[in-house]
Every structure is written in structure tokens, then in C-alpha cells.
């Protein structure tokens, strides 16, 4: 039975959402150029829309898209080679590759996405550009989404990405997982990138939903691959952290998609298997003499996971862990989280004093969660005018629809 054009269009859209970054990553390996691979990927998906209706859906869509994209790139470069000898040489190099490019895999680690991350995290690139480049090319996040994650302006972020791509091209940075002796030098940035991918999936910076399951699952998958490659304590800690956070996903929203805060979640919905695996990994990480920021963050997540109710949460332990985390990884966001924990341990006034100090420095003035935390504590203290001002500031900054609905409900509560 022939597929309808609408069915084909829906199928191609679904495959694009699930597979486009893997197709893109493999095409980069085969073509050796980010922009050429991007054009080839879009050409392949366009061809799928045109051909699958008549010729049928291939048994392996991803392999078909990779092969089609490769041949489209060769055709494009063959036309350009009439005017540029360099394109002719590049075309010959690509054609000399194996017949089935989708099956060309490294024997040690069969994942082009991980290769792409290591390429984007090459030490020749600036530290700011590495994570931004990876989030753009690996996760297909928009410049605006990444800029919000880094708390910078979109034009600044866009320039970082442009310069990074130019550096990769000019320096001929290879598309590969580095040799084992070079892995530690790139590990910090790779971990940062994987965690940023997870965070965008666990708590989306914008859009219609609180979470993006595709991104958090991809980050966990990459964490497992990285652990097989390099069983470093911080890799173990990051995987534990992601699993412990992800275990709470079913309880984080209502059936209609509204946000549910941690203290209000139905803990019976938390995934016990993920919690068990996360706690086991954390125990493994603590056997090392080197305890880094991801292990400490996993320990904080474990304190929440092990509490049967909000009232039984060991907030003194959590404050202590945040204090340690601030020493090894100073950050205003970590300082904000510690302030919230202090509010839970010592009362809202103590936490509010900490948050006011952070905001007075101006470091988190454009971070909506800082204003939300400030508003919540003001509201608990009966400071209605101050709470309203903070909620309104948070609403002006929030980009995620469920979060905006939550803040509007808080404002309505103040009105009543």
C-alpha cells in the first residue's frame, strides 16, 4: 500500500527529530567539513520527502540518509570543482571512501556523536567556544537557547561559534576520539557539554514543555559511552548525577504539563531503578581519592533521592555539600542553590539574605530562577510588595511556557 504524502512528511519529521544529529555527525566524518555536512544532511532529508512516497521507505532510514547526503555532497563539489581545483581534490578523497559510509565505524567506539563532541572540545578552541559549538552542532539548539544557558547575549554567542568552526577548518582538527593519553586534557569540557545537554533536556530553557526527553536520554547515553571509554571518577559522578535527576521526571509535571516543585512531587512516581543505579555509581565514585564537582552534585541529588518526604530531607548535609562544591567550583548559580538550601535549613529570612547578596552583585540579574527564589521567600515572609516585584521580574525573563504559567499563578495568589 502506497504511503500518503502526509504520512511521509510526518515520518521524515520524526526521523529528523530523532536521527538528524547522528546523520550530521557521520557526514562530518565522511566529508570533513561542518558546512558541507550541514548542506548534505538537509539535501538528504529533502530527497527523502521527494522519493519515499514513490519508491517506499528504506529498511534503514539513517543509512539511506547518510549515503544520500554523501552523494549529494559529491555532486555539489563536482559542480564546484569546475571552478576550484581544491574542490576536485576533496571530491576524489570523499569518493575514495568505502561504499557504505554508514558502516564505517571506529573499532573502539562506534559513535560519531561522541567523536563530534571531542572535535568541538579540542584544546585549540577557546573554552567558551567549545561548549557553545557542541551544543549547537550536537544538539541543534538555537543560538538563543545556548546564550540563555551561558547567560550571554546571542550575538556574542554566535561569534564564538563562527570563530570555532573557522578554527576547526583552518587548523585541520581531526574528527576523532583522541588517543588515550590526550583524553584527560579534554575531559572537563566534554563533561560540561554532556551535562549542559542533559540540563536542556531535564529543564528546557524555553518552549512548550518543562523537559525534552530526547536530550536528557541522549546525554545519559553519551555518559555511558564516555564511561566505557574513560572510567574516571568524575565521569562516574556525572552519570550518577544525571540518573538521579532523571529518576524524578515522571513526578515533575502534572498530566496537563504544568510544573511541580520538588517539595510537592509524588515521590512514589520516582524511578527506583534509576535511583538504585545512580546511588551505586555514586558509591563507586566515592571510592576514589579525587572527589570533583560532579561527584559532589551527585551526592546532593542522592540526599534528595534517599529522603522519603520533604520533611526528612537532610538539609544540613545538602548545605555542607554545596559549601564544598563552591570551594572546588565557584559559581553564582551554585551559590544560589546553596542559599535555597539554607532557607530550608534555617528559615526563609536566612535564605533571602543570601539571595539578596547574590542579586545585589548583579551576577544573576538576568537569571529568572534567582528572582523566582527571591519571590518565593519574600512571599513566605509576608513581603507582598517585594514578592510581586520579583515574580514580575522572573516572568519577564522566563521563556518556558509551563514556567510562565506557574509564575502567573503565583502572582494571582498574591492578588487574592
Q: Report residue 378 as a C-alpha cell.
A: 519574600
Provide the 3-class DSSP secondary structure of residue 269. Answer: helix
Please classify residue 295 by burial: count the beta carbons closer than 10 Å to its beta carbon, then call 0-12 exposed, 13-18 middle and 19+ buried.
buried
pLDDT of residue 200: 84
226 vs 348, which has greater pLDDT?
348
State yes or no: pLDDT of 184 exceeds 90: no
Q: Report residue 64 as a C-alpha cell.
A: 539511506
pLDDT of residue 84: 56
pLDDT of residue 416: 66
Domain boundaries of the chain, sorted by first residue: 5-97, 111-175+183-208, 231-313, 322-416
What's the helix, strand, coil split of the chain in %, to 5? 75, 0, 25
pLDDT of residue 242: 98
Bridge partner residues of 207 (DSSP) = 400
Please compute the mean of the pLDDT values over residues 168-190 and round it to a whole number: 83
**Which residue has cell 521563556?**
399
CATH fold of 322-416 reads: 1.25.40
Provide the 3-class DSSP secondary structure of residue 138. Answer: helix
Domain 5-97 has CATH 1.10.3470: no
Please compute the mean of the pLDDT values over residues 365-383 and round it to a whole number: 96
Tell me how far apart the terminal alpha carbons of the chain are, to the nearest angstrom: 60
Q: What is the mean pLDDT of the chain?
A: 87
Q: What is the pLDDT of residues 2-56, one digit of tens each?
A: 567 788 899 999 999 888 988 999 999 888 888 899 999 999 999 999 999 888 8
Please compute the mean of the pLDDT values over residues 262-273 and round it to a whole number: 95
Bridge partner residues of 400 (DSSP) = 207
pLDDT of residue 336: 97
pLDDT of residue 126: 84
Q: Which residues contact 212 (CB under 8 A, 6 or more apart)?
A: 200, 201, 204
State yes or no: pLDDT of 98 exceeds 50: no
State yes or no: pLDDT of 81 exceeds 70: no
**Which residue has cell 565522511?**
30
The CA distance from 34 to 46, in Å, is 18
Residue 253: phi and psi, rounded to 5, are -140, 155
State yes or no: pLDDT of 189 exceeds 90: no
State yes or no: pLDDT of 169 exceeds 70: yes
pLDDT confidence band for 104 (50 / 70 / 90): very low
pLDDT of residue 108: 35
State yes or no: pLDDT of 295 exceeds 50: yes
Q: Report residue 367 as a C-alpha cell.
A: 537569571
pTM: 0.79
**What is the sign of the dihedral through the CA atoms of 254, 258, 264 and 269?**
positive
pLDDT of residue 386: 96
pLDDT confidence band for 146 (50 / 70 / 90): confident
Amino acid at each position: 500500500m502506497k504511503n500518503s504524502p502526509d504520512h511521509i512528511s510526518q515520518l521524515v519529521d520524526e526521523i529528523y527529530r530523532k536521527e538528524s544529529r547522528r546523520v550530521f555527525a557521520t557526514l562530518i566524518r565522511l566529508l570533513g567539513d561542518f558546512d558541507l555536512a550541514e548542506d548534505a544532511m538537509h539535501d538528504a532529508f529533502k530527497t527523502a520527502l521527494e522519493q519515499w512516497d514513490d519508491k517506499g521507505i528504506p529498511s534503514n532510514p539513517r543509512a539511506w540518509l547518510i549515503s544520500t547526503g554523501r552523494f549529494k555532497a559529491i555532486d555539489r563539489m563536482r559542480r564546484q570543482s569546475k571552478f576550484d581545483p581544491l574542490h576536485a581534490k576533496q571530491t576524489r578523497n570523499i569518493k575514495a571512501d568505502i561504499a557504505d559510509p554508514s558502516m564505517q565505524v571506529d573499532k573502539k567506539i562506534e559513535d560519531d556523536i561522541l567523536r563530534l563532541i571531542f572535535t568541538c572540545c579540542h584544546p585549540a578552541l577557546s573554552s567558551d567556544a567549545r561548549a557553545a559549538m557542541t551544543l549547537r552542532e550536537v544538539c541543534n539548539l538555537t543560538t538563543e537557547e545556548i546564550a540563555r544557558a551561558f547567560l550571554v547575549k546571542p550575538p556574542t554567542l554566535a561569534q564564538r561559534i563562527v570563530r570555532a568552526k573557522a578554527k576547526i577548518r583552518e587548523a585541520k582538527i581531526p574528527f576523532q576520539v583522541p588517543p588515550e593519553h590526550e583524553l584527560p586534557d579534554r575531559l572537563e569540557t566534554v563533561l560540561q557539554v554532556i551535562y549542559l545537554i542533559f540540563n536542556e533536556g531535564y529543564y528546557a530553557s524555553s518552549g512548550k514543555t518543562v523537559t525534552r526527553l530526547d536530550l536528557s536520554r541522549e546525554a545519559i547515553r553519551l555518559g555511558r559511552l564516555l564511561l566505557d571509554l574513560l572510567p574516571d571518577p568524575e565521569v562516574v559522578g556525572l552519570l550518577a548525577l544525571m540518573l538521579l535527576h532523571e529518576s524524578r521526571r515522571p513526578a515533575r509535571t502534572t498530566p496537563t504539563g504544568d510544573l511541580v516543585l520538588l517539595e510537592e512531587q509524588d515521590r512514589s512516581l520516582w524511578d527506583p531503578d534509576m535511583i538504585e543505579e545512580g546511588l551505586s555509581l555514586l558509591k563507586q565514585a566515592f571510592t576514589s581519592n579525587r572527589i570533583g564537582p560532579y561527584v559532589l552534585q551527585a551526592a546532593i541529588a542522592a540526599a534528595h533521592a534517599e529522603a522519603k518526604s520533604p520533611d526528612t530531607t537532610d538539609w544540613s548535609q545538602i548545605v555542607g555539600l554545596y559549601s564544598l562544591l563552591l570551594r572546588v567550583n565557584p559559581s553564582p548559580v551554585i551559590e544560589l542553590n546553596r542559599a535555597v538550601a539554607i532557607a530550608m535549613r534555617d528559615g526563609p529570612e536566612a535564605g533571602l539574605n543570601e539571595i539578596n547578596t547574590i542579586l545585589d552583585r548583579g551576577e544573576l540579574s538576568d537569571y529568572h530562577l534567582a528572582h523566582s527564589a527571591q519571590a518565593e521567600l519574600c512571599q513566605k515572609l509576608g513581603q507582598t510588595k517585594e514578592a510581586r516585584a520579583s515574580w514580575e521580574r522572573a516572568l519577564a525573563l522566563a521563556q518556558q511556557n509551563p514556567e510562565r504559567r506557574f509564575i502567573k499563578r503565583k502572582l494571582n495568589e498574591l492578588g487574592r
